Amino acid sequence: MSCAKRRLRYTNRYELRHDILTSPKALDSYASSAGAFDNRPIGVFDSGFGGLTVASEIIATLPNESIVYLGDSGRCPYGPRSLTQVDGFVQQISRWLLTQDVKMIVIACNTATAAGLAHAQESFSVPVLGVINPGARAAQTASENKRIGVIATQATVDSGAYTHAIRALDEEITVFSTATPRFVEIAEQGVRMAQGPIESFTAQASKVYIRPAFQEIARDYLEPLKRCDIDTLVLGCTHFPLLKTLIGSIIGDQVKLINSAYEVAKDVQGILQARSQLACENNQAQYRFYTTGRDVEEFQDFGSRVLNFPMETVNYLRLEEDE
């Protein structure tokens, strides 16, 4: 069967609301008008390099799929910004990704998902996925005592997005949310510090170098959640899987850590398969990386460590905030 590129559009912009994403009947309904293969890339974006943890899972799950990744490092962090402003960024970046002929958009940022997923799904004709509902589903499945913790940026916590998504699945669950803004800073500092030979060896388990001071910060954030008797903790920022070893050492082995990246990759696979939009089995995947930050070399170093393979080229992209 031919692997010719297919130009596919939704007839209904509301088809990919996340509340129906897991419905087999809904997924099956997408396939009827779809072609056989689609080698166009998947668009993925985040406020920086943290979303590369999601891109990495997509690459592992779907090695034939090409990816266009944009890290909005020039406007990072999103966490302290208003949800309205971040929603504007989501619209702007999604429009740019569509100029790159992507067949799907993945918002690989919890704050951006909380602020702009619904608006993006209404605005654009390609599937748009976020990271909150996949994480909520995984947490609801994993929890046995129905007490779930969430750590995230201030904006994500203030939005209540995780609480709503988890309790929509099971209203008997109690959700304890804590803003942990310094974890983003720790992740980025830890990656920078993991460049030397000794530090790199120490950082192998978590990809970041953990200073004793980082452990004190983590303890201040996580001890109150431990006292809430949670059995599951959602890593509600795509930076946080980089700190899994640190977080796990404080929260304890009895608490399951939820990284939504794996669930997102499965959703991407399911949607593309149902729409017959998977790339050909012999497609040579291509990865293109962009950053709005001026320090392209630093982004390249960070990204190579997160992805576990060298980013050969990173392109600078200028985006105006008032566009």
Q: With bands split at pLDDT 50, 70 and 90, how would you rate the model's confidence at 27?
A: very low
The catalytic residue positions are 109, 237
- Confidence at residue 192, expressed as pLDDT on a 0 to 100 scale: 56
- Calculate mean pLDDT across residues 233-256: 92
- Confidence at residue 201, expressed as pLDDT on a 0 to 100 scale: 33
pTM over 0.85: no
- Confidence at residue 107, expressed as pLDDT on a 0 to 100 scale: 98
**DSSP of 17-70, one letter per residue?**
-GGGTT-HHHHHHHGGG--S---PPEEEEESSSTTHHHHHHHHHH-TT--EEEE
Residue type at position 293: G
- Confidence at residue 3, expressed as pLDDT on a 0 to 100 scale: 52
What separation, in Å, do the N-terminal and C-terminal C-alpha atoms of the chain show?
A: 43
> pLDDT of 257-307, one tens digit each?
999 898 999 999 999 999 999 999 999 999 999 999 998 998 998 888 889
> pLDDT of 204-220, one tens digit each?
444 444 567 788 999 99
Q: Using the predicted structure, report yes or no on whether residue 88 has a pLDDT greater than 70.
A: yes
Q: With bands split at pLDDT 50, 70 and 90, how would you rate the model's confidence at 1?
A: very low
Domains in the chain, CATH or no CATH each = 18-130+262-316 (3.40.50.1860), 133-260 (3.40.50.1860)
- Separation of alpha carbons 235 and 255, rounded Å: 12
- Confidence at residue 210, expressed as pLDDT on a 0 to 100 scale: 56
